[in-house]
C-alpha cells in the first residue's frame, strides 16, 4: 500500500484515517499533520500514527491528502510542493477549488485529484465525488477511489460537474438535517413528546433512505406506494407541492453550486 500523508486531519481527515485503518491500512502507512499539539497527541493515542508538521508529512507521502480550509490550501501547497516525492499524488478535499488552481500552486506535472466528501463519512456512510486533474491517470484515480471508499461510496464525475455534485451530496446532509428538524418540530406541535417525535423522524429518514438504496426503485415509485388515493399521505404531499418544495430545492442547490464556483474563483 502507498504511504498516505493527511495534511489537516480535522473531522473529515480523521474520519478518512479511521476508515482506512478499519479497511486494512496499517498505522505505518499513514502520517498526519495538524497544527494544535493537543490534537496531535490525541491522534497518536487514538490511532498509533505518526503526527508531524505539514512539510515533513508531505515529504513522506506517495499520496498527500490536503484537508485544510479552502483559503489555506494555496499556502499549504506552496509550502509542501518543493518537498513532494517524485510522482506524488496530491488530493484536495477543499470545496470549490479547481484542479487547475491546485496545479498552479504545485510543481509542473504534479498529479492532482479534487474530492468533495460529505459528513456521513464520519460514520462510514458518506459519498465522495472525485475528479482528475490534467496530469492524473486512471491508476492514480483508482488509488483515490480506494482511499475514499473507506468512508463510503465514491462517484466519479467530470470536473465541470463538481460544483453541481457538491450542491447535492456535499451540502445535502444539511438539507436532510433541516428536514428532520422540521419534522420533529411538526410532531411536537401535533402533541408528541419531543423525544418520541425525534425517534420517529430520524428512523423514518434512515428507513426510507435504506429502502431507496436497497431496492433501487425510483423515488417516485416508492412515494406512490406510500400514497393511497384520498389518504393522509396524499393530503400532506398536496400541501408540500403547494408550498413549492421542489422549486425550493432547485433554488437551494443552484445557490450552493454558484457559491462553490465563487469560492473556486
User: Is residue 264's pLDDT more than 90?
Assistant: no
Average pLDDT on 100-105 reads: 95
pLDDT greater than 90 at residue 2: no
The per-residue pLDDT for range 137-156, each reduced to its tens digit, is 999 999 999 999 999 999 99
Bridge partners (DSSP) listed for residue 50: 31
Cell numbers standing for residue 249 = 430545492
| Residue of 90, 35, 94 whose CA lies nearest to 69 | 94
> E strand or H helix at 28, and its extent?
none
> Would the pLDDT of 66 be above 60?
yes
Residue 21 host element (H or E): helix 11-22
Sketch out the chain's domains with CATH numbers: 4-161 (3.40.50.720), 172-264 (1.10.3730.10)
Beta strands in 11-124 (DSSP E): 30-33, 50-52, 63-66, 89-92, 112-116
pLDDT band at 265; cut points 50, 70, 90: confident
Question: Are 94 and 7 within 8 A, CB to CB?
Answer: no
pLDDT of residue 10: 87
215-219 long-range contacts, CB within 8 A, separation 24+: none
Residue whose cell numbers read 419531543: 194
**In the chain, % of residues over pLDDT 90:** 96
Q: Are 88 and 254 in contact (CB under 8 A)?
A: no
pLDDT at 243 over 90: yes
pTM of the model: 0.92
- pLDDT for res 197: 98
Mean pLDDT of the chain: 96
pLDDT band (50, 70, 90) for residue 103: very high
Overall average pLDDT of the 16-41 stretch: 94
Convert 87-117 to b/e letters by CB count within 10 Å (16 or more is b).
Answer: ebbbbbbbbbbbbebbbebbeeebbbbbbbb
The confidence score (pLDDT) of residue 130 equals: 98
Average pLDDT over residues 59-72: 95
pLDDT digits (tens, 9 = 90+) for 152-203: 999 999 999 999 999 999 999 999 999 999 999 999 999 999 999 999 999 9
- Residue 1 scores a pLDDT above 80: no
Sheet order of strands, 112-116 included: 50-52, 30-33, 4-7, 63-66, 89-92, 112-116, 126-132, 152-156
What is the distance between the alpha carbons of residues 122 and 132, in angstroms, rounded to a whole number? Answer: 24
Amino acid at each position: 500500500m502507498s504511504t498516505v500523508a493527511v495534511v489537516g486531519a480535522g473531522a473529515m481527515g480523521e474520519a478518512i484515517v479511521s476508515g482506512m485503518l478499519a479497511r486494512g491500512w496499517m498505522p505505518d502507512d499513514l502520517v498526519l499533520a495538524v497544527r494544535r499539539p493537543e490534537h496531535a497527541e490525541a491522534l497518536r493515542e487514538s490511532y498509533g500514527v505518526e503526527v508531524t508538521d505539514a512539510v515533513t508529512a508531505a515529504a513522506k507521502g506517495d499520496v498527500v491528502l490536503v484537508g485544510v480550509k479552502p483559503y489555506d490550501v494555496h499556502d499549504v501547497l506552496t509550502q509542501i510542493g518543493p518537498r513532494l516525492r517524485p510522482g506524488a499524488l496530491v488530493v484536495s478535499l477543499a470545496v470549490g477549488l479547481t484542479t487547475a488552481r491546485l496545479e498552479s500552486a504545485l510543481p509542473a506535472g504534479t498529479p492532482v485529484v479534487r474530492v468533495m466528501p460529505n459528513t456521513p463519512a464520519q460514520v462510514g456512510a458518506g459519498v465522495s465525488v472525485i475528479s482528475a486533474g490534467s496530469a492524473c491517470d486512471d491508476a492514480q484515480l483508482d488509488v483515490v477511489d480506494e482511499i475514499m471508499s473507506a468512508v463510503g461510496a465514491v462517484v466519479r464525475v467530470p470536473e465541470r460537474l463538481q460544483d453541481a455534485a457538491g450542491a447535492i451530496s456535499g451540502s445535502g446532509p444539511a438539507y436532510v438535517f433541516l428536514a428532520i428538524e422540521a419534522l420533529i418540530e411538526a410532531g411536537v406541535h401535533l402533541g408528541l413528546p419531543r423525544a418520541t417525535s425525534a425517534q420517529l423522524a430520524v428512523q423514518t429518514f434512515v428507513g426510507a433512505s435504506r429502502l431507496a438504496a436497497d431496492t433501487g426503485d425510483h423515488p417516485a415509485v416508492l412515494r406512490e406506494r406510500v400514497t393511497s388515493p384520498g389518504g393522509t399521505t396524499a393530503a400532506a404531499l398536496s400541501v408540500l407541492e403547494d408550498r413549492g418544495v421542489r422549486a425550493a430545492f432547485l433554488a437551494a442547490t443552484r445557490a450552493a453550486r454558484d457559491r462553490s464556483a465563487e469560492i473556486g474563483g
